[in-house]
Amino acid sequence: MATIVGGATGSIDVQKTVSQLIEVENTKRLDPLSAKIVRKQDAVAAISDLKALAADLEVKLSVFEDPAQFNGASPSAALSGAIKDLVASFNALNTKVRLYGRVNLSDPTRDTAKEVVLFGDSALQGLERVIREGLTGGLKLASTGEAINFSDLGVSRKLDGSVTFDPKALTKALSRPAPAIIAGLAAGGATSSFRTSLTSAALYNGPLQTRTDQLNGELYTLSKRFSDEQSKISGEQDRLLTKYAKLNAILGSLGSTSSFLTAQINSLSKSNN
């Protein structure tokens, strides 16, 4: 039975001793790499989240380009619904952009590590600029070339970058003779520079995809380093087990020698008496 050095057998607990040493190595060499890997994985997941939300917003903007959307029995209701959907989608993306790039100090339940996962990231900053400036471009009627501001359709911006929709303001806008918003939308739809800039910044092979590819490359490198370090530590563990097993054998031999000498000394003492 193995005991700590100084016990009756003079041996050591090899498994426990080596496990303690390896635990120290894991903490020192593997834990920092693991933290970096998790951080990169969080960033990839965050960008994927942003791309999905940007794609949804792009779809909501594309609705205004389709004249068929405004040729039904209730084109005003169709326009109101399209704006509501646009506002909801915009706010969802804006919320995540702020979440991943900034720390909300007023929220006691915030997860700082998650919030700032893309803090200072150039791809995120580019997307943030796009959504900050996007709605200011408004719509451009394809049939007449006339510009329509989103603010004229009841959309207004709040201090946190989110937007709200006032249906009454839209009703008032539609009651004006010029520009003929519904007629223009029904004739040829309306384009938006916001959709173009959003597509360039967040979709397909834009900056967000480039950043994702870069992060995946960094993840591959970190994962390989982690695997290599694991192999090295495993080898060190095997060497330590062998080393301490030999030491244990030596201590056992010394213990036997000590017991023999003690017995001889006791025997001599009895003889002298």
Mean pLDDT of 256-260: 58
- The token duo for 185 is 């939308």
d(Cα 268, Cα 273) in Å, to the nearest integer? 9
Q: What is the pTM of this model?
A: 0.78
- Give yes or no for a contact between 149 and 38, defined as CB atoms under 8 angstroms apart: no
> What does the DSSP 8-state code read for residue 70?
G
Of the ranges 128-132, 226-230, 253-257, which is most confident? 226-230
Query: To the nearest 5 percent, what fractions of the chain are helix, strand and coil?
Result: 75, 5, 20
State the pLDDT confidence band at 12, using cuts at 50, 70 and 90. confident
User: How does pLDDT run across 79-125, given as a tens digit for each residue?
Assistant: 999 999 999 999 999 999 888 886 554 554 555 545 557 877 888 88
> What does the DSSP 8-state code read for residue 29?
I
User: What pLDDT was estimated at residue 77?
Assistant: 92
User: How does pLDDT run across 188-209, given as a tens digit for each residue?
Assistant: 999 999 999 999 888 877 899 9
The residue among 132, 152, 131 whose CA lies nearest residue 141 is 152
User: What pLDDT was estimated at residue 18?
Assistant: 86
User: What pLDDT was estimated at residue 258?
Assistant: 58
User: What pLDDT was estimated at residue 192?
Assistant: 92
d(Cα 100, Cα 111) in Å, to the nearest integer? 10
Residue 152 vs residue 82, higher pLDDT? 82
- Give yes or no for a contact between 148 and 139, defined as CB atoms under 8 angstroms apart: yes
User: What pLDDT was estimated at residue 165?
Assistant: 95
